[in-house]
Structure formats: structure tokens, C-alpha cells
Amino acid sequence: MADGQTEGVRAAGELTFGEKVVVLMGGIIAGMSLTVLSPVLPSIEMALAHTQTDQMLVKQLFGITTFAMLFGAPLGGFLVARVGMRRLLLGASLLFAFGGSAGYFMSSLPMLLASRVCVGLSAACIQVMALTIVNTKLSGVSRAKWMGLHVSIATFCSLLVYPLSGFLGDISWRLPFFEHLFALVVFAAILVSPTIDVPKAPAATAGASLDQSIWKWMPWHYIGLTLFTGAITFLPAIYSPFLFREKFGLPPSGMAGIMFSTALIGGLSAFFYGRAMRYLSVHGAFLVAFGLAAVGMAIVALATSLPTMVAGFALYGIGNAWFVPNFMTSIGNKVLPHQQARAAGLVKMGQFGSTPFCVLVIEPYARQFGPLTVMLLACGMASFIFLLVVIRMATQGKRRLAVKPAKAA
């Protein structure tokens, strides 16, 4: 199996209407699960929190969604082989739409928390299915193009969710819950696409056994890499506002403007990922992504002027936008079609789990040494992975930079 030429994939660009909707909407839904309620959390607290425990539960409306996504990603990857992608997507989109919008009618914090578990599980499942469609139906540059579009569209739409939630929240803190009904677009697209499915595992031939053990075919080091990558992605996003305030005394509006601009630049970077992969290997794209992230974070940490720091943050955003599409493109080249869903679910599990894990580990050091230390740490991690990729390429010598094919039965 050559680079990107997996048995069972379609010709470049050949996705059905329903598949295109799932691929483009999957990232949006995952982002919405974490952004819809953020602007109205203080209003929810004022309305429903009567004790300190209640105040903590309101903040957990975000935390428990992330935690649910941590389990929803691998769960979706394993369930798809048993119930089929079409049924799984239909169920997950309905669960997201009605489980999320049900919050409009709830005044109990425990019930709201239960509804957010439904949102997190279904959102992660839908995104994993979107990534699986790309890796099983497409190959080569076309695969990279749609991976980039998945991330790019999700980023651009996340820029619209915040103001929409804020506008609705000014009317009533309950109204943003209805934004979850957006998942009915996916439900409708699946209804008119009866052929959506994932490849089945090939039957064992006479005299041969088909090794289905995930412990042997799954590239487990990718989960560790996504933990590092998640740290490089989320730690600067969490701690950079504190650094901007500490160094230059920026107000929240100023920090929001910088974060908006960085997200916009990242979305554009992801949009052009597919075109860049016409000229780069997966390893080459990793070099670009981690190199830009490392240099950008170094500039942010060492900058003595606000324009310099903003430029460094923008450079970091360009590299950061390639992490997810490149990881998923690479994993698509490493495993067989019927293994794609489980591999994507496990890799996304590593990404979703990186944020709470890294904050738990880093927060004591950030309190003691300040946000500058976190920026340097993120820079160091990006530089370390950059070095690992260089070593990997050097040890390959004149061999092709493409990843090795998965072992056939």
C-alpha cells in the first residue's frame, strides 16, 4: 500500500453530499460543544447558583463536556463497527441536538450537567466519524485538502459562535442552548445519504487468520504525540492572556482582539494545508508546523514590545493550525480502512485529554514562575518534537519520507 493509496479509498474529491456535510460540520459541532455556553456561564451562575457548590457546578458545565469528549472519541470509533456509521451518526446528531437544546427547559444544575455529558459524547463521536470518512474515502492530496477544510471551517465558525451566543444571551441565558439544534443539519444530510458507511474488515482467507488485535496495528506513540501537541495548542491559549496583561496591561477587549486575529490566521493556514501537501510529505509538514510554533512561542516569551509579541503569536497560530490535519492525514496512511475509526477515536482521545492533564501538571509552576515560563515550556516541547522529526528523517536516509504501509493480512 503506497503513501495515501489505501485499498478501498475513492478517487480524489469523490465524496457524496452527505459525506461532505459530515466532514465540514463535524469540526463545527465539536467546537460548539465547548463554546456555546461560555458567554452565558456568569448569567447561569446568577440564575441557578445558590451555594458555593452550585458555583463550582456551573463552571463544570464546560469541564464535564470536555471530559465526556475524552470518552466519546474512542467510544464512537469502536461502536461504528457494530452499529454502522449511518446509524451512529443519526443517533449522535439527534443526541447532540436535543440533549443540548434541552438545557433551555432545565433549572437543575445536575440535570444540566447530565445534558452536557450527552453533548460531549455525541460531539466527539460526530467529529471522529468526520475524520474517518476522509481517511477511508479519500487519498493523497485530496485527503489532506479535506482534513484542512475540516479544521479551517471549524475555526472560522467558532469565531461566529461567541458573538451569536452573546447576542442571544443578552436576551436570555437560556436561548444559546437552542444553537445545538444545528446538528439537525447533519441528521438531514445523513437521511438523504443511505450509502454512508465504513469499510468492513476483510474475511480471513483459507489457511490464514486475520489478526484483529488493536495492540499490534495501532501506532500507539501517536497518542503520546497528541498529548504533547495538545499542550502546545492549549497552554498558550490559556496562559497567553495572563502574559499579555502582565507585560502590557491589556484589557480583556485587547486580548480578545488578539485571540480573534490569531484564530482567523490559523483558519486560513488550515485552509491552505491541502495545497501545501502537494509539495510536502507528512514529515515535512510536521517540521513546518512545529518549527513555526516553536519560533512563535519563543518570540512571544522574549518580546519586549506588543507588536513583536502579537507577530510571534500569529506565527505560532499558523503552525498550530496544521497539527490536527497532519496527524489525522498521517494516521490515515498508517492503518487499514476498517481500522480508521478506532485509530481516529484513540488519537482524538489523546487530544481531548491533553488540556485537563497539562493544566493539572503545569498550573503549580505557572503560579510560582508566571505565564512566561509556560510560553517557554510550550516552545521547548515544540522544539523537542521538531528535533525528533529531524532525527526520524535523517535515519531514513534516501528512503521515501512517506510512512510505512500497514501490514496486510
Sign of torsion over alpha carbons 113, 119, 29, 9: positive
335 & 392 share domain: yes
Average pLDDT for 175-194: 91
pLDDT given at position 91: 95
CATH of the domain at 144: 1.20.1250.20
28 & 120 share domain: yes
- pLDDT of residue 225 exceeding 60, the answer is yes
Lowest-pLDDT range, 109-123, 178-192, 311-325, 330-344?
330-344
166 & 223 share domain: no
Cβ-contact 78, 111 below 8 angstroms: no
How sure is the predictor about 176, in pLDDT bands with cuts at 50, 70 and 90?
very high
Which long-range contacts link 404-408 to residues 24+ away (Cβ below 8 Å)? 404/334, 405/1, 405/2, 405/333, 406/1, 406/217, 406/334, 406/335, 406/336, 406/339, 407/217, 408/1, 408/336
Lowest-pLDDT range, 53-57, 228-232, 285-289, 355-359?
355-359
pLDDT given at position 203: 54
In a domain, 21, yes or no: yes
> DSSP letter string over 1-62?
--TT--TTPPSTT---HHHHHHHHHHHHHHHHHHHSSGGGHHHHHHHH--SHHHHHHHHHHH
Distance (Å, whole) CA 325 – CA 149: 9
In a domain, 4, yes or no: no
Contacts of 178 by beta carbon, 8 Å cutoff, 6+ apart = 101, 104, 168
277 & 152 share domain: no
In a domain, 200, yes or no: no
183 & 226 share domain: no
In a domain, 406, yes or no: no
Residue 321's SS3 state is: coil
The 10 Å Cβ neighbour count of residue 311 is 15
315 & 372 share domain: yes
pLDDT given at position 160: 86
Domain residue limits at 51: 17-191
pLDDT given at position 255: 73
pLDDT in tens, 282-336: 888 999 999 998 998 889 888 889 999 889 989 999 999 999 899 899 888 888 8
Query: What percent of the chain stands above pLDDT 70?
Result: 89
In a domain, 34, yes or no: yes
Average pLDDT for 385-408: 63
28 & 160 share domain: yes
pLDDT given at position 25: 93
The 10 Å Cβ neighbour count of residue 217 is 16
- pLDDT of residue 381 exceeding 90, the answer is no
Average pLDDT for 263-282: 91
250 & 390 share domain: yes
pLDDT given at position 145: 92
- pLDDT of residue 183 exceeding 90, the answer is yes
pLDDT given at position 397: 55
171 & 224 share domain: no
46 & 154 share domain: yes
In a domain, 138, yes or no: yes
Contacts of 52 by beta carbon, 8 Å cutoff, 6+ apart = none
187 & 304 share domain: no
pLDDT in tens, 8-19: 444 445 788 889
pLDDT in tens, 191-213: 887 777 766 655 544 444 444 67
- pLDDT of residue 5 exceeding 80, the answer is no
In a domain, 204, yes or no: no
Mean pLDDT across the chain, nearest whole number?
83
24 & 60 share domain: yes
Question: Of 114 and 139, which is predicted with more confidence?
Answer: 114
In a domain, 404, yes or no: no
- pLDDT of residue 2 exceeding 50, the answer is no
pLDDT in tens, 99-112: 999 999 999 999 99
- pLDDT of residue 409 exceeding 50, the answer is no
Domain tally, the chain: 2
Which long-range contacts link 170-179 to residues 24+ away (Cβ below 8 Å)? 173/40, 173/43, 173/44, 173/47, 174/103, 174/104, 175/104, 176/36, 176/37, 176/39, 176/40, 177/36, 177/37, 177/100, 177/101, 177/102, 177/103, 177/104, 178/101, 178/104, 179/32, 179/36, 179/100
pLDDT in tens, 25-84: 999 999 899 889 888 888 888 899 888 888 888 888 887 888 899 899 999 989 988 888
